[in-house]
Amino acid sequence: MPNDPEICSCAALRQATRHVTRLYDAALAPVGLSLNQYAILARLKRHGPMRLKDLADNLVTDRSTLGHLVRPLERRGLVALAVGPDDRRSRRLQLTAAGLDHAARAYDLWAGVEAGFAEAFGVAEAAALRRTLKRVESVELGRQVV
């Protein structure tokens, strides 16, 4: 394989991610959220209260990164940790009433960017891209020994 950073799959994915994330972050700025924070609110709205481990797995991130994203949301009163219903040692993150309202306002901003992306990139191409990225996410890549 040639030693050419221009053909690195990871670099290409990261560059495309940064390019698109900037667009979404700018759109969500009026409600004071990053795309990653919005994703937390959206998951909680869709799935209800979640254990932090389950939320981290759902977002394909680690608990440490999730903690850095959740703390500002907690301080703003958008999410709260509650005792789990089956195990008092378990904690679940849930939306507060303010968080539910904030998620609804953020959704409108997110939906506008999502529609703009689909229009600019092409509706069919955007759908194909999402399918391809889901496949990338699901492939067991394993560790390559050099």
Per-residue pLDDT reduced to its tens digit, 72-127: 999 999 999 988 777 777 789 999 999 999 999 999 999 999 999 999 999 999 99
Nearest Cα to Cα of residue 84 among 43, 51, 44: 51
Give pLDDT, residue 115: 96
pLDDT exceeds cutoff 80 at 54: yes
Arithmetic mean of pLDDT, 4-26: 88
Give pLDDT, residue 75: 97
Which H or E element spans position 146?
Answer: none
pTM for the complete prediction? 0.85
Which of 80 and 8 is assigned the larger pLDDT? 80
Q: Where are the alpha helices (DSSP H) in the chain?
A: 9-28, 35-47, 52-59, 63-75, 97-121, 123-138
| CATH architecture classification, 7-137 | Orthogonal Bundle (1.10)
Which percentage of the chain shows pLDDT scores above 70? 92
Determine how many CB atoms are found less than 10 A away from the CB of residue 38: 21
- Which residue's structure tokens are 């608990």? 63
Arithmetic mean of pLDDT, 124-137: 92
* Residues 107 and 42: beta-carbon distance below 8 Å: yes
* Residues 108 and 27: beta-carbon distance below 8 Å: no
CA distance 9 to 18: 14
pLDDT exceeds cutoff 90 at 137: no
pLDDT exceeds cutoff 70 at 33: yes
Q: Is the dihedral of CA 95, 45, 128, 23 positive or negative?
A: negative
pLDDT exceeds cutoff 50 at 29: yes
* Residues 106 and 97: beta-carbon distance below 8 Å: no
* Residues 66 and 59: beta-carbon distance below 8 Å: yes
Nearest Cα to Cα of residue 95 among 34, 45, 132, 29: 45
